[in-house]
Structure 1
Amino acid sequence: MKPPRPQSEVGVNARRAALRLLDGVLRRGLPLEAALESAGRDLAPADRGLAHAIAAETLRRLADLDALIDSATQQRLPADAKARFALRIALVQALALGTPGHAAISTVLPLVDGGPRRLVHGVFGALMRRKVALPSPPTLPRSVEERWLANWGRDVVDAARSAMAAPPPLDLSFADDEQARRSEGRHLAPKHARIEAQSRITDLPGFTEGHWWVQDLAASIPARLLGTGDGRQVLDLCAAPGGKTLQLAAAGWQVTAVDSSSPRLERLRENLGRTKLTADVVEADVMAWTPEQPADAILLDAPCSATGIFRRHPDVLHRVKARQIAEMAELQRAMLERAATWLKPGGTLVYATCSLEPEEGEAHLPHIQGLTLNPVAADELPNGIVPHPQGYVRTLPSTLQDKGATDGFFIARFKRA
């Protein structure tokens, strides 16, 4: 049996993994969860969780951390300098995560062994002596703030900043409305409950029994707009990890769930097993696959920039740029055109993206051929969410802000003649 590692080594390893996570997101443009697969592979679960928490909080507060670092250096450190990464990790622990200062700095200095240890130690010490603090709410990256300010206005930008300041609530979607009504929390829609954020979701009542699954309230709207299935056929395109598949199956649809990601489809299958719901699961690229017969309905939750889910995935604020948004918009338009041909006459298609970029939502409407917008009524939506006057749904960081807010989504429903 190997002797246990010294506690100091365990702490350093978690910080070293956090540095690799940040490097993966900020320098290589990887999603945080994808970077975690390699950076945290050899860590114990507790250390893996700590590395993720440090990296995520750093990304939420990156602009403010860098402003502090720049205020204490005579020459600006390069954005990709290891000393800057080490200082970000030390400062976010001391100023946001409650780590004592001596522990915050002692566990990051080994990250710059053979490098500017004195610089990192000196800058950190100088800032601590100044008794600096991080602003609340956090500051958005400049390019994001400018883009959202132009598209949505100051109120939405301020709401987005507030949304980053605290963990979002936990929304549960239920297969049965009676189970939902008996559950604790705030009920903002049928088959829904909103509770405070939890660290161990698997410990919540009803998880093992498969009564519910985690799904942001806004993310539950697309499937709601298809109503009950009564045994009809629906294609759930880009379906994984499966929240909408579960909704549709629980609403009586015969679901074919299509996605190209094997790991994400495995999660979908696990959730189907836990909830005892059924769907035909197909691993395929929507742009290469063709259904055997036309469908009564289609739900296309298209690949997108995912900037609408920044509350839980702050990496999108830093790795998504104008080029990626344009590329995603082009792919979405192609998917819409392809999927529209798979509908039966009179069939319904719901298109959705978890994006706050109009290019991935509103901008598509004038270009959709063969489909007619089927306006959404207010009574089809969760309490407090209203459709746009043109008939589609747009949720923003300011949506339901007094009730815990929602993710940012664009949702439109169409009919085929």
Structure 2
Amino acid sequence: MADARTPRRPARPRPAPGGPEPLGTAARRAALRLLDAVLRRGEPLESALAHATRALAGGPDRGLAHAIAAETLRRLPDLDALIDSATRQKLPDDAKARSALRIALAQALSLGTPPHAAIATVLPLVDGGPRKLVHGVFGTLMRNGATLPEVPTLPAAVAERWRDNWGKDVAAAAARAIAAPPPIDLSYADAAPDPTKVLPDATSLAPAHGRVAAGSDVAALPGFAEGDWWVQDLAASIPARLIGRGTGIALDLCAAPGGKTLQLAAAGWQVTAVELSESRAARLRDNRERTGLSFDIAIADVLAWSPPAPAQAVLVDAPCSATGIFRRHPDVLHRAHGGIVAEMADLQARILARAADWVAPGGTLVYATCSLEPEEGEAQIERFLRDRPDFRLRAPQAGELPDGIAAEPEGWVRTLPGTLEAVGGCDGFFVARVERASA
């Protein structure tokens, strides 16, 4: 392959330094900021979005910046392999030239952006010698017919951890799962309507569930304005399904964005949703207003807060590494290392121990995490049951779980990459239901 530092004549002239920037450059600059926030500072992509896109004029540009960054993160190991194949010396991982090449290649090879537009809009992001390097590497790869593999490559550390924990088939399924954004699941306030009769091309895998294609305009779907449903991954609906219907007091801890709170309210419970973040609680309020469902919101740290009375049902959707939602949030593949898993596992144990004391005798506690790490799921509940002999595990009964999802022999629920793959898959979740002994 030709040396990138002596490139052949590019197919299109590049803009002169100091001249007007090509249309769309601002969105690429925002995408570059997003990558820096995730890869260098370890921030979640969604949390970094507002600051990184603050200079953009409108929603479409913000959406484009997010799409470019997310696709780059989905394909990062393969993009880096292409870049390294076209340079004599390996570029530092945090070099701006590497980041610019990543987003240019992601656009040209995965998002369908014409190559001349992909490179023209990233060249203004680098100055001096790196500008020539970026242009040369990109041109070399395009001329040599560079492609990305159909199945993306997982980051090495993640692939090794998931192979060790779940086996090579699950790791392979995870790689297939990040090839494209997943479908969108909707949870309905009323189980009676059949979503497949009112939503074009929808499917249903459980009562009060509808699934539509990835990229659907959610706000334009029938029932959105009326508050009939909310967006919630099918696996994320399992914790509240295992609590079921009731008329007593229910607590939803660490509640935002609120899908489980809405499920409990729709099932008849008197719900208090506890959320530490005021900004995240805004989502709860928005969904409460749109759906018309009734529940209380407490802005509080569950490690310092206490309910006024014991509850018949407590749902602990604990903070976690969030590795189970990597299909929708590929940044977790690059942020959630072993240290974060250990930190989250410690926090989960403290929340779980405190929440258990709020369960009334004979009441139910459901513990859940959207994590693929056993330390945040299986190991957590095993330790809890050893420490709290007044609780026992209660396995799901027939009809409580979505079609195609079954409880593990131990009695808890574990969804993994590959679960329901033939019909669009679901997020990785761990869910366990335990009951407190009656007084």
Query: What letter is aligned with 1:26?
Result: L
SS of the residue aligned with 1:379?
Answer: coil
Instruction: Name 2:5's counterpart in structure 1.
Output: none
The alignment's C-alpha RMSD in Å is 1.2
1:54 aligns with 2:68: yes
- Report the alpha carbon displacement of residue 8 of structure 1 after superposing the two structures with TM: 4.4
Query: What letter is aligned with 2:406?
Result: V
- Report the alpha carbon displacement of residue 198 of structure 1 after superposing the two structures with TM: 3.0
Aligned length: 411
| Aligned partners of 2:21 and 2:124 also within 8 Å | no
- Provide TM-score, normalisation by structure 2: 0.92
Determine which of 342, 351, 359 is the counterpart of 1:326. Answer: 342
Query: What letter is aligned with 2:354?
Result: R
1:16 aligns with 2:36: no
Instruction: Name 1:218's counterpart in structure 2.
Output: 235
- Report the alpha carbon displacement of residue 225 of structure 1 after superposing the two structures with TM: 0.3
Residues 315-341 of structure 1 show CA distances to partners (whole Å, capped at 9, x for unaligned) of 000011000000000100111100000
Instruction: Name 2:198's counterpart in structure 1.
Output: 183
Query: What letter is aligned with 1:63?
Result: P
Instruction: Name 2:128's counterpart in structure 1.
Output: 114
**Separation in 2 of the partners of 1:367 and 1:89?**
44
Determine which of 402, 405, 408 is the counterpart of 1:388. Answer: 408
Determine which of 247, 264, 270 is the counterpart of 1:254. Answer: 270
- Report the alpha carbon displacement of residue 186 of structure 1 after superposing the two structures with TM: 1.2
Residues 305-361 of structure 1 show CA distances to partners (whole Å, capped at 9, x for unaligned) of 000000000000001100000000010011110000011101100000000000000
Instruction: Name 2:172's counterpart in structure 1.
Output: 158
Determine which of 34, 41, 59 is the counterpart of 2:54. Answer: 41
Determine which of 119, 123, 129 is the counterpart of 2:137. Answer: 123
**Separation in 2 of the partners of 1:141 and 1:128?**
24
Query: What letter is aligned with 1:222?
Result: P
SS of the residue aligned with 1:288?
Answer: coil
Residues 237-267 of structure 1 show CA distances to partners (whole Å, capped at 9, x for unaligned) of 0001100000000000000000011111111
Query: What letter is aligned with 2:172?
Result: D
- Provide TM-score, normalisation by structure 1: 0.97
Instruction: Name 1:379's counterpart in structure 2.
Output: 399
Instruction: Name 1:104's counterpart in structure 2.
Output: 118
- Report the alpha carbon displacement of residue 378 of structure 1 after superposing the two structures with TM: 4.1
- Single out whichever of 8-17 and 135-144 deviates more from structure 2: 8-17
Query: What letter is aligned with 2:301?
Result: D
| Aligned partners of 1:378 and 1:387 also within 8 Å | no
Determine which of 73, 77, 96 is the counterpart of 1:82. Answer: 96
Runs of 4+ in 1 over 6 A off after TM superposition: none
| Aligned partners of 1:308 and 1:408 also within 8 Å | yes
Instruction: Name 2:304's counterpart in structure 1.
Output: 288
1:200 aligns with 2:248: no
Determine which of 19, 25, 30 is the counterpart of 2:43. Answer: 30
- Report the alpha carbon displacement of residue 162 of structure 1 after superposing the two structures with TM: 1.1
**Separation in 1 of the partners of 2:54 and 2:336?**
25
Residues 362-387 of structure 1 show CA distances to partners (whole Å, capped at 9, x for unaligned) of 01122111321111224210011000
**Separation in 1 of the partners of 2:293 and 2:305?**
24
- Report the alpha carbon displacement of residue 199 of structure 1 after superposing the two structures with TM: 4.1
SS of the residue aligned with 1:407?
Answer: coil
| Aligned partners of 2:393 and 2:433 also within 8 Å | yes
| Aligned partners of 2:245 and 2:267 also within 8 Å | yes
| Aligned partners of 1:183 and 1:193 also within 8 Å | no
**Separation in 1 of the partners of 2:361 and 2:192?**
35
1:233 aligns with 2:240: no
| Aligned partners of 2:319 and 2:369 also within 8 Å | yes
- Report the alpha carbon displacement of residue 166 of structure 1 after superposing the two structures with TM: 1.9
**Separation in 2 of the partners of 1:7 and 1:110?**
9
**Separation in 1 of the partners of 2:46 and 2:400?**
33
- Report the alpha carbon displacement of residue 40 of structure 1 after superposing the two structures with TM: 0.6
Residues 185-208 of structure 1 show CA distances to partners (whole Å, capped at 9, x for unaligned) of 111101011111234210111100
- Report the alpha carbon displacement of residue 158 of structure 1 after superposing the two structures with TM: 1.3
Structure 1 residues 301 and 72: CA distance shift in structure 2, 3 A: same
Residues 119-151 of structure 1 show CA distances to partners (whole Å, capped at 9, x for unaligned) of 111111111111010001110000000000001
SS of the residue aligned with 1:23?
Answer: helix
**Separation in 1 of the partners of 2:422 and 2:354?**
39
- Single out whichever of 361-370 and 123-132 deviates more from structure 2: 361-370
Aligned-pair identity (%): 66
| Aligned partners of 1:377 and 1:391 also within 8 Å | no
**Separation in 2 of the partners of 1:170 and 1:210?**
17
| Aligned partners of 2:366 and 2:433 also within 8 Å | yes
**Separation in 2 of the partners of 1:397 and 1:201?**
25
**Separation in 1 of the partners of 2:433 and 2:420?**
22
